[in-house]
Amino acid sequence: MAVPLLDVNAQNLPLEAELTAAFTRVLRDGRFIMGPDVAELEAEVAAMLGVPHAIGVSSGTDALLLAFMALGLGPGDEVLCPTFTFFATAGTLARTGATPVFVDACPVCFNLDIEDARRKITPKTRAIVPVHLFGQMADLDAVNALAEEHGLRIIEDGAQSIGARRHGAGFGAKSDFATYSFFPSKNLGGFGDGGMVVTGDDELAEKARIMRVHGGKPKYYHHVVGGNFRLDALQAALLRVKLARYGEYTESRRRNAAYYTEKLAQIPGVVIADPSGHCHDAVTQARWLAESGAKLVLPAASPHNDHIWNQFTLRVIGEGRRDALRQHLADRQIGCEVYYPLTMDQQPCFRNLPESSRQGCENAHRLASEVISIPIYPELTRAQRDEVIEAVGAFPNAG
| Residues that bind ligand PLP in the complex, under the rule CB under 6 A | 59-61, 85-86, 88-89, 131, 157, 159-160, 181, 183, 193, 195
357 vs 373 by CB, closer to ligand PLP: 373
- Give Cβ neighbours of residue 282 (< 8 Å, ≥ 6 apart): 106, 107, 113, 363
Smallest distance from the beta carbon of 308 to ligand PLP, in angstroms?
Answer: 13
Helix (H) or strand (E) holding 336: none
> Please, are residues 371 and 338 in contact by the beta-carbon 8 Å criterion?
yes
Choose between 181 and 285: whose C-beta lies nearer to ligand PLP. 181
Q: Which is nearer to ligand PLP, 177 or 183 (CB)?
A: 183
Nearer to ligand PLP, 83 or 160 (CB): 160
Minimum CB–partner distance for residue 333 and ligand PLP (Å): 25
For the bound state, the minimum distance from the C-beta of residue 57 to ligand PLP, rounded and expressed in Å, comes to 9
Closest C-alpha to 156, from 228, 224, 68, 72: 68
Taking CB atoms, the residue at the shortest distance from ligand PLP is 60
Q: Report the candidate in 317, 312, 288 with the shortest Cα–Cα distance to residue 300.
A: 312
Q: Output 59 or 235, the one with its CB closest to ligand PLP.
A: 59
Instruction: Output the smallest distance, CB 64 to ligand PLP, in A.
Output: 6
**Which of 91, 215 has the CB closer to ligand PLP?**
91
Give the separation between CA 288 and CA 304, rounded to whole angstroms: 22
d(CA 142, CA 297): 25
H-type alpha helices, the chain? 8-12, 16-29, 36-49, 60-70, 87-96, 114-119, 140-150, 202-212, 233-243, 246-264, 282-292, 321-331, 362-370, 382-393
CA distances from 181 to 55, 190, 317 (A): 12, 9, 31
Edge to edge, the sheet with strand 270-272 lists: 270-272, 296-298, 312-316, 371-374
By three-state DSSP, how is residue 119 classified?
A: helix
Question: Closest approach of Cβ 130 to ligand PLP, in Å?
Answer: 11
Q: What's the closest the beta carbon of residue 315 comes to ligand PLP, in angstroms?
A: 19
Q: In which order are the strands placed within the sheet that holds 195-199?
A: 53-57, 195-199, 177-181, 153-157, 125-128, 78-82, 99-103
Q: What is the C-alpha separation between 377 and 132, in angstroms, rounded?
A: 18
- The sign of the CA dihedral 265, 268, 272, 277 is positive
- Nearest-approach distance from CB 160 to ligand PLP, in angstroms: 5
- Least Å distance, CB 158 to ligand PLP, is 8
Least distance to ligand PLP, CB of residue 278, Å? 24
129 near 93, Cβ under 8 Å?
yes
- What does DSSP say about strands 125-128 and 78-82: parallel, antiparallel, or unpaired? parallel
* Residue nearer to ligand PLP on the CB measure, 190 or 375: 190
